[in-house]
Structure 1
Amino acid sequence: SLVENAIGEKVLAIPGIELGYCARPGEVEVRIIGNPNAIRAADAVIRRELGVSIFSDNNEALETVVVTLLKERKERLATAESCTGGLIANQITNVSGASEIFLAGYVTYANSAKSDVLNVDSKLIDKHGAVSEAVARAMAEGAHTRAASTYGLATTGIAGPTGGSDEKPVGTVYIALASGDSETVAKKFLFPTDRETFKQLAAQAALDLLRRRLLR
């Protein structure tokens, strides 16, 4: 894995250290065992090599970290989901106290709903397709505006197994983050897997995009 490639050889070079991994959709738990000096040395290597990719060192879920950061900043979130079908909103609302930071979750699966609920221009969808950076940006901005939230977080993609093309294969997802104080950002990911895993990976990627923005 990417994590193992980044830290494995360097950590295992430390005398008296044991290293293990537990992979889940969108994340990898790193476990180290050893004497106190070895643990400190391994911890320093891991933090140096992985940096901001580390979202927790006390077994917190990514959504818990995001909710905590939003609370600390007294900021609020709205989501606009297509391919993830409300999974991001579900994960956020699984966290106790999420009502302090979560304003609304819009599941706009149909193109008409994207236009009617989020005010996405139908001409934009016709020109670029529902699964596109332009539409992801418009969805995020629509959620941000409609809910009057600090952030609007949006997903649109192709979960498969049908619906893909050479230009946009199954597993393609665009994730966008809108806010009032900076330009809307959008990223493209490719997760060619089954539908359920695709949704989990896309939701994790979206939450991590927001987490990194909150750490600025």
Structure 2
Amino acid sequence: MVTDAQLQQLAISIGERLRARNWRLVTAESLTGGWIAKICTDIPGSSTWFDRAFVTYSPEAKQQMLGLSSELLERAGIVSEAVAAAMASAALTRGQADIALAVTGVAGPGGGSSATPVGTLCSAWTDINRQAQQQPPWVETCHFQGDRDQVRRQTVHHGLARLRDILA
């Protein structure tokens, strides 16, 4: 089980790495409902390295706040690497940040399907260098076990841990 202390330690580490680069973070969150932003902004001084969060829980929010097309959402599916990548890219473009993290998935207990069972997470990360070189975001699909809270907590942990590794 991922603890609050583990999440806080990850956020502290990310903040140190972002400050060292003079970078800021933006998030685009669906499955986590802003939990990644909460963990980051719980850290004193995070205003020096955290820009903003787009909490785009519904398909309409993804379209309105991030500019994702209904065609992409229908073709790829809300829970897909393509949508996570588009969320990360759009957040980076629309924010005032240097690196972006996006998550979309199915926390449960309902809402899953055979293609995207409960516990499915699609994440994406991109930064200003990748975007300038027109490289696609890093993307990953994971499957977590547990109840709704456990899936969401594992999602926050995974997103932050991978972000820390990217910043290493």
Q: TM-score, normalised by structure 1?
A: 0.72
1:170 CA displacement? 0.5
Structure 1, unpaired ranges of 5+: 1-23, 30-59
- State the partner residue of 2:53: 105
1:211 aligns with 2:159: no
| Alignment RMSD (CA, Å) | 1.7
Name which structure has the greater RCO, CA cutoff 8 Å, separation 6+.
Answer: 2
Could you report, residue by residue, the CA deviation over 1:114-145 in whole angstroms, capped at 9, with x for unpaired residues? 01101112110010111000000000011100
Do the aligned partners of 1:26 and 1:205 also contact (CA within 8 Å) in 2? no
Larger Rg: 1
Deviations 1:48-98 (A, max 9, x none): xxxxxxxxxxxx711111111101111111000000010000000011110
Structure with bigger strand share is 1
Query: Are residues 1:170 and 2:147 paired?
Result: no
2:2 to 25, 41, 54: 25
Could you tell me whether the CA contact under 8 Å between 1:172 and 1:192 is conserved in 2? no
Q: Distance in 2 between matches of 1:148 and 1:132?
A: 25
Runs of 4+ aligned residues of structure 1 deviating over 3 Å after TM superposition are none
Q: 1:197 maps to which residue?
A: 150
User: 1:189 aligns to what SS in structure 2?
Assistant: strand
Map 1:10-49 to 2 at 5 A.
24-25=1-2
Q: Please, what TM-score do these two structures have when normalized by structure 2?
A: 0.92
How many percent identity over aligned positions?
Answer: 38
Separation in structure 1 between the aligned mates of residue 62 and residue 98 of structure 2, nearest angstrom: 20
Pairwise CA distance, 1:192: 2.1
Q: Distance in 2 between matches of 1:131 and 1:181?
A: 26
CA contact (8 A) 1:153 1:206 kept: yes
1:124 pairs, out of 42, 53, 72, with: 72
In structure 1, give the amino acid aligned to 2:109.
Answer: P
**Matches of 2:12 and 2:152 in 1, distance apart?**
18
